Structures are given as C-alpha cells and as structure tokens.
Chains A and B, each alone.
Chain A
Amino acid sequence: MSLLRSLADRERVFDFLAPQASPVDVRHGPILYMEDVTVSFDGFKAINNLNLTIDDGELRCIIGPNGAGKTTMMDIITGKTRPTTGSVWFGSRHNLLDMNEPQIASLGIGRKFQKPTVFEALSVFDNLELAMAADKRIFATLTARMTGEIKDRIEEVLETIGLTELRYRPAGILSHGQKQWLEIGMLLMQKPRLLLVDEPVAGMTEQEMERTGELLISLAGKQSVVVVEHDMGFIRSIARKVTVLHQGSVLAEGSMDQVASDPKVVEVYLGVEDEEAA
C-alpha cells in the first residue's frame, strides 16, 4: 500500500529520473576520471588506452606534439566525440558517456575554444549577462530584470578577468587577449566545475600571456582547470602538474621539471624538432 502511495505521489522525483540535477560527487577527490579510453577513426587510434584523472580544484596542463590527441580528448569530455571503448566519469556519480553535449554543459563543464567568439556589438557587460546561467526561454528572457545579485555576479567576474574598466564598451573594440579573457569570463558566468581551455595564449603578447597565466592560476581552486597549450614557457610559468600526451596516450605526468627531464619526453619532442629541421 505504502509503495503504491509513494508511486502515486506526484511530487516524488525518482533518482533515476533526475540524475542530471544531482550535484557532482567529488568526495573521493577527482572530478574527472578517464579510464582506458580509446577512440579510433577508421582504424586510426586518435586516443589509445588513455587514463587521466583530474582532481577537484586542480590546474592541469596538457601538452603534446600535434596529433597527440589533445583536441580529441577535449571532444570526448564535452560529448562531441564518443569513445570506442573506455569510461569517462564526472565526479563519481555522472557517467559522461550517457549524456549529450547540452547536458554535459549544464553539468558544469565549460570549454573555451581556440578562436575567441564574443558578441562584438554588445558591451562586455552584456556579453557576460547573456552567458549567465539562467532561464533562457523567450518570456523569461523578455521580462528578465537586472537584480543586484546578478549585477554583483557580473561585477565579480569582470573583476576576475580584469575588464571592469571596459565593461560598458562594445566587445568589438577589445584586443585579442582581452577577447580571450572575456570568453573565459563568459564561461565563468555559467559557474562551471571544470574548465577546459584550448590554447589560451595563442597570438598573445608577452604581457597578455602573463595576465592570462595569473587569471588561470586564480581560477584554480574554485574550479578545476585543464589547459591545453603549445607554449612551453607559458606552461612552465603556470603549471603545477603537467601531462604529456603522445600518440593518444599519456607519455609522462608530473611537475614541469620532472617531465622535462624525462628521457621519453625529450625523445618525442626532439624527434619533432628533428622532423621540423629536416
């Protein structure tokens, strides 16, 4: 009887019906596990038996020569590419392989693409406002009011990305570096748990690189950050832990100094340089 009553209870939400809404479980430490992941495109293994664990609040740098599988790895995490085998978990409760891209995004995984795309005609402030996690249906959007709470949140992110002074200027006038920061800010407005950042300093000046490094370091702790980058100097300046990818699997992992002195890594990178020289 009580079972029937509980089944008839309209307010009751069964666990299996609401897995997305449940919080990310990071009690065991890691926020992202990738285990034995393999992706093959027509026999070519872009990712080969990859094992990767990212701790909650960690700042991780991923490096590797072209074709090492860095972008494919990002695609798997965000749901754009399905692995052939293996498992990917977000916290210890969410199996990312069961979800589609929007679900994964709403779970709190944000991705910054290489090329910044901001809304140039809108102000920096408006860009952040639109990116905010909110009810995005038509009438809610039409009648949306700017509350003090939202304003504070936007101001906070503006402060973080260092664009407070430029908040009412159109995003189109920003420099390349500033656009990258704005894009990171737009990701932050969605309150992500894990940020995937693809080549953040490509095309930046020394000074902008330095600022970007500071920004990424300040983000770590509040959220986990995974940075894919080519620029070794930049990696050295921000990295606590570095993962080297090569031919779709992890070649080495550790601090920058450990990794840089690893003979396997030296060989891979020297090999690349030899090819370039040839």
Chain B
Amino acid sequence: MHASKFWLARPFSERSTQVFLGVLLTALALVTLLHVAVPQGNPLHVSAYTVNLFGKYLSYALLAVAVDLVWGYLGILSLGHGAFFALGGYAMGMYLMRQIGDRGTYGHPELPDFMVFLNWDSLPWYWQGFDMAGFAFLMVLLAPGLLALVFGFLAFRSRVTGVYLSIITQALTFALMLAFFRNEMGFGGNNGLTDFREILGFSLRSDATRLGLFLATGVALGLGYILCRAIVGSKLGRVSIASRDAEARTRFLGYRVERFQLFVFVVSAMLAGVAGALYVPQVGIINPSEFSPIFSIEIVLWVALGGRATLYGAVIGAILVNYAKTVFTGVMPDAWLFALGALFVLVTVFLPKGVAGLLAYRVKRKPNDRDDNTKPQEATA
C-alpha cells in the first residue's frame, strides 16, 4: 500500500503478508507450547518426532516459495530446483561431518568416515574451512547461488526460456545427481553424508535441538517469505510479471530482461539452498537422491497444488502434500504415487488456481483490494 516505503519494509503493510506471518508465528508458538508445556501421554502433546516432521515440512515450504518466485512471477519453470536445495544441504552436511571430529567409527581426527574407508589420507581442498560454521553457512548461500549465476547467465543470455529451459534444468540436476553418486567426488557417494552428531555445539539427538531447528526453519520461512514479497511487490516484481507475460514488449520498454531473470533466479536458488541446509540436520542425512529429477518435479507439484504466483499457496501446497505423503506412505505405501497423481489431476481440473485460489474465492474481498496492496496511496495515508 505504501509504495513510497523502503522496499524491504513494504510487505509488512500488506494484508496477505500480515495474515501469513500471523498464522506462521501462531503455529510456531502453538507447537512449541504443546511440545514443552503439555506432558507426555496427554493427547494434546506434540512429540519430538512430530516437531521434527513439522520442521521438515517448513523447510520444504521455503523451497516451494523459492520455486514459486521464479515460476509464478518470472514464468521460468525450473524443474531443477532440487539441485540448489541439495547443494545447500551438502554444504550443511559437510559442516556437520566436520563436527563429528574423532568420534566417527574409525576415530580419525580429521577425515570423515567414508574418506577413511576409501583410504584417502588427507582432506580434499574443497572440504577445507567447513569446520567453521560461518564459512559453511556462507557456502550454503554461495554454492547454489554461484551455480544459478553461471547456469542462468548462459541460459538467459541465449534467451533460453520456456520448455527448453525446463528441460535443461532437469538435465542439470540429473547430471549433478550422477556426479554426486561417484565416490571420487568426495561427497560420500551413494550413501551421502550422515551420522551427524551436533550443530553449533548442540546435540542433534536432543529434543531441545530439534525444537530449535524447527523454530529456526519457521523463522527462515518467515524471512524468506518477506524477502520474496518485497521483491514481487517492488517495481522489479512488476517488471518480472511483465516479462513473464510479454518478454519482447518488456525489452522494448528498455528493461534488460535477461538480467532481471538472472537476479531473481539467483535469489531463488539461494533460498532453496537455505531450505536444504535446514532440512539436512532435521532428517540427519543428505545423499544424491535429493538431486533426483523426480524430486524437483514434485516441488513444482506442491506449488501448482497450492496455487501458483501467490507465495502463500506454495507454503500451503508443500505442507499439505507432504503431510498427505507422510500419512499415505504410513498407511498404504504403494498407493502414494497414485494418490499424488489423482490429487494433481483433481486440482488441475477443479481448482486451476490451486488451494490458494479457493481461499481467495472464499474470502470475499472488496473489489480492487488486491490492487490497492501494491498501489501508492500516500495521498490518503
């Protein structure tokens, strides 16, 4: 509403963001309360296992927001965002591996177990520095960011968009999967990185750390959401939408569309990396399966189910589908893929705008409400 504000402050005056943050904070507080204050055995008690599960959903939600940013607002259907997620995850995994120290099975003071097993005698150069949390966390942003920068630079400069871009993003994540499967790469090959002990000195096996990670993921989701809202609510966001719908026309107005695409793509990749880094300590393992093309396609399904180009729809979609997955794979493991397919077909046919579209329809809004959110109103404010 107050477009004259500093761009990062704008989302706070948007109704939808206020509601989203309100719901998110309430949910975080509620889960914490039910976990800590309600004694075990009480039906209302939320177990550490469930907290951990919710934390995983929230990291998926952040990943979905990242995908929605590029797909919903920029029109770039990335079928390889799992690669950025996994790279962030690996950066975190490398840090966690180094934290094990000499407590590994082989008791080597420096080398992770798999390297001892492979008879390596020293740490590869790219493992240096990952014993420092600050460096590792920086890499969580830089590794996916750099990959997106190089990949995006080449793709957008050549004006590769649409289906072709989707296909090469698939190829990208597939190629990375094959590479990470190799033991020689030094990332644990097929088994990946696991057997983590502690993060920043807190044991990963304690309930308190799990709660902390859950809350940290929630906060990261909130911050990521605000950043994305700030971007799509800015003039840059409107240029993105313009280039999504009429790229040539946007160029004709004097915008270097490929640079805008690259910027948003890199931001999105970094968010995906953060999501991956928060995911890994909560599930306790990172392996090349996160690079699998199927996973990247699944992310897009979450966003489509939740509702594209709304951001909160991506969050709803990610949580809903993954909750359903947890339930289904527990009850009828074989039926899950059929259920996912059926869900996708049903939503596409009956809810073309996803769950978010249904919400928007239910919540009767004033005419122009949505437009007013992004419009200058300082004359009346």
Tell me whether A and B are bound partners.
yes
Give me the interface of A with B, judged by CB distance under 8 Å.
102, 105-106, 117-123, 125-126, 129-131, 136-138, 141-148, 151, 168-170, 186
* CB–CB A126/B238 < 8 A: yes
Let me know if A169 and B371 touch, CB within 8 A. yes
CB-CB < 8 A to B5: which residues of A?
A: 145
Contact yes or no, A105 B376, CB < 8 A = no
Residues of B at the A interface (CB closer than 8 Å) are 3-7, 231, 234-236, 238-239, 241-242, 244-246, 249-250, 253-256, 259-260, 263, 368, 371-372, 374-376, 378-379
Tell me the minimal C-beta distance from A45 to chain B in angstroms: 29
Cβ contacts under 8 Å, A137 to chain B: 256, 259
Q: Are B263 and A130 in contact (CB under 8 A)?
A: no
CB distance from A256 to the nearest CB of B (A): 33
- With beta carbons under 8 angstroms apart, the residue of A102, A142, A148 that contacts B235 is A142
Task: Given contacts A144-B236, A145-B4, list 15 more A-B pairs with CB under 8 A.
Answer: A119-B246, A121-B244, A121-B245, A123-B371, A130-B238, A130-B250, A136-B256, A138-B259, A138-B260, A142-B7, A142-B235, A142-B236, A142-B263, A145-B3, A170-B371
Q: Are B375 and A125 in contact (CB under 8 A)?
A: yes
Report B8 CB to chain A, min CB distance, Å. 9
Name B235's closest neighbour in chain A (CB-CB): A144
Contact A131 B234 (CB under 8 A): no
Task: Enumerate chain B residues within 8 angstroms of A136, measured Cβ to Cβ.
Answer: 253-256
A141 touches B234 (CB 8 A): yes
One of A125, A131, A138 near B253 (C-beta < 8 A)? A131
Q: Chain A nearest CB: distance from B108 CB in Å?
A: 47
**Bound CA span A129–B233, Å:** 13
Contacting pair B3 A122 (CB below 8 A) = no
Question: What are 15 sample pairs from A and B whose C-beta atoms fall under 8 A apart?
Answer: A119-B241, A119-B249, A121-B241, A126-B374, A130-B235, A130-B239, A130-B242, A130-B250, A131-B253, A138-B259, A141-B239, A142-B231, A143-B6, A143-B7, A144-B7
A134 to chain B, nearest CB (A): 9
Q: B371 to chain A: which residues have CB within 8 Å? A: 123, 168-170
Chain A residue with Cβ nearest B242: A119
Known A119-B241, A130-B238, A145-B5; contact A105-B263, beta-carbon cutoff 8 A: no
Contacts of A119 in B (CB 8 A): 241-242, 245-246, 249-250
- With a cutoff of 8 Å between Cβ atoms, the chain B residues found around residue A117 in the complex are 246, 249
Query: Which of the residues A126, A130, A138, A148 comes within 8 Å of B378, measured between beta carbons?
Result: A148
- Point out the residues of chain A lying under 8 angstroms from B259, CB to CB: 137-138
CA distance A120 to B244 in the complex (A): 11
* CA distance in complex: A136, B236 (Å): 9
Q: How far, in whole Å, are A40 and B232 apart by their CA atoms in the complex?
A: 48
Contacts of B7 in A (CB 8 A): 142-145
In the docked arrangement, what's the CA distance between A142 and B259, Å? Answer: 12
Report the Cα distance A121→B232, complex, angstroms: 13
Q: Determine which residue in B234, B371, B378 has the highest number of CB atoms from chain A within 10 A of its CB, and name it.
A: B371
**A130-B242 Cα distance, complex, nearest whole Å:** 9
CA distance A126 to B3 in the complex (A): 12
Least CB distance, B354 to chain A, in whole angstroms: 16
- Please report the C-alpha to C-alpha distance between residue A168 and residue B3 in the assembled complex, in whole angstroms: 14
Cβ–Cβ contact B235 & A141, under 8 A: yes
Q: Which residues of chain A come closer than 8 Å to B254, judged between CB atoms?
A: 102, 105-106, 136
The verdict on A144 contacting B4 (CB below 8 Å), with A136-B254, A138-B263 known, is no
B372 contacts which chain A residues (CB < 8 A)?
Answer: 168
Task: Answer whether A143 and B234 are a contact pair too, CB < 8 Å, given A120-B245, A125-B375.
Answer: yes
Bound CA span A105–B3, Å: 28
Please give the distance in Å from B240's CB to the nearest CB on chain A.
10
Residues of chain A within 8 A (CB-CB) of B378 are: 146, 148
Contacts of A144 in B (CB 8 A): 7, 234-236
CB B254 to nearest CB in A, in angstroms, measures 5
Q: How far is the CB of B110 from chain A (nearest CB, A)?
A: 42
Distance from B187 Cβ to chain A, minimum over Cβ atoms (Å): 33
- CB B231 to nearest CB in A, in angstroms, measures 7
Task: Specify which of B3, B5, B6 lies most central, judged by the most chain A CB atoms within 10 Å of its CB.
Answer: B3
Sorted nearest first, the 8 A-B pairs with minimum C-beta distance are A146-B3, A146-B376, A168-B371, A144-B235, A142-B236, A141-B236, A119-B242, A117-B249
Q: Which residues of chain B have C-beta atoms less than 8 A from A118's C-beta?
A: 246
Shortest CB distance A188–B (Å): 13
Residue of B with least CB distance to A131? B253
With both beta carbons as reference points, the residue of chain B lying nearest to A132 in the complex is identified as B253
Do residues A146 and B4 form an inter-chain contact, with CB atoms below 8 A? yes
B235, B236, B241, B374 — most chain A CB neighbours (10 Å): B235
Q: Which residues of A contact B250 (CB under 8 A)?
A: 119, 130
Cα–Cα distance between A117 and B376 once the two chains are bound (Å): 24
Within 8 Å CB of A126, what residues of B?
238, 374
The answer on a CB contact under 8 Å between B376 and A151 is yes
A40 vs B6: C-alpha distance when bound (angstroms): 54
Contacts of A148 in B (CB 8 A): 378
Q: Closest chain A residue to B264 by CB distance?
A: A138
Q: Given the known A-B contacts A136-B255, A168-B368, A169-B371, are A142 and B246 also in contact in the complex, defined by CB atoms under 8 Å? A: no
Give the residues in chain B near A142, CB-CB below 8 Å: 7, 231, 234-236, 263
Q: Which B residue sits closest to A151, measured CB to CB? A: B376
Residues of A within 8 A of B368 (CB): 168-169
B residues near A147, Cβ cutoff 8 Å: 4
The one of A131, A145, A168 that contacts B375, using a Cβ cutoff of 8 Å: A168
> Could you tell me the distance in whole angstroms from the C-beta of B270 to the nearest C-beta in chain A?
15
Given A136-B254, A136-B256, A169-B371, check contact A122 B4 (CB 8 Å).
no
B5 → chain A, closest Cβ, in Å? 7
Docked CA distance A274–B282 (Å): 82
